[in-house]
Structure formats: structure tokens, C-alpha cells
Amino acid sequence: MEHINKVSSKELIRIMENDNKPVVIDVRESEEVANGVIEGAKHIPLQSIPDVIEELDKSKHYVLVCRSGARSMKAASFLDEHGYKVSNLAGGMLEWEGEVIA
């Protein structure tokens, strides 16, 4: 897991402002996401990642997000093992400095 790229909140905000936006995947549970999510994030609960992996595009960059960064690191590692380009939001939503939408 040490080789998974970690991005800070500030880095992700900067990356999201570029033309080549990553796909943000929020792996938290539905009740957590109901309290707010990063705008444009796709909600896929952690346990559902294996079920939808075939629907993801290997040419895209995915940034995984959860509450603190632990669950999203598991998801990032799983996707990395299957050949996807991934990063993990360091500190998760607890460290997120950008806007949150309900």
C-alpha cells in the first residue's frame, strides 16, 4: 500500500480545477454521504467496488475518498491491483478543505 499515491486536500482541489479532472469515488456508507460529499464525486460504497470494477474506465484517474482515508486506501489498493490509476485522499473527508454538497 506504500506505493499508492496520496493527495492532500489542497492538491485535489488544484487537480480538480484542471481540464483533466480525476474521477472522485466516495466509498463511505450512504448515511455518511448524506451528510455531504465532494461535488461531482461518485458514491460507490467500499463493499460494492468489486461489483462495479468492470464499469470503471482504466484510462481515467480515480481519487478514492472516505471519512479518514483508511477505507479509501483499501479501495485504492484493490483498484491498483487490477490495473487502475488511483490516488487516495490523505485524511479523507476529515481533512477536506473544499466545498461539500448535500
Q: Which residues are catalytic?
A: 66
Q: Residue 81, Cα to own-chain centre: how many angstroms?
A: 16
Residues in the chain: 102
Q: 46 near 75, Cβ under 8 Å?
A: yes
Joined together, the cell numbers standing for residue 16 give 480538480
Helices (H), the chain: 9-17, 30-33, 49-52, 70-81, 92-95
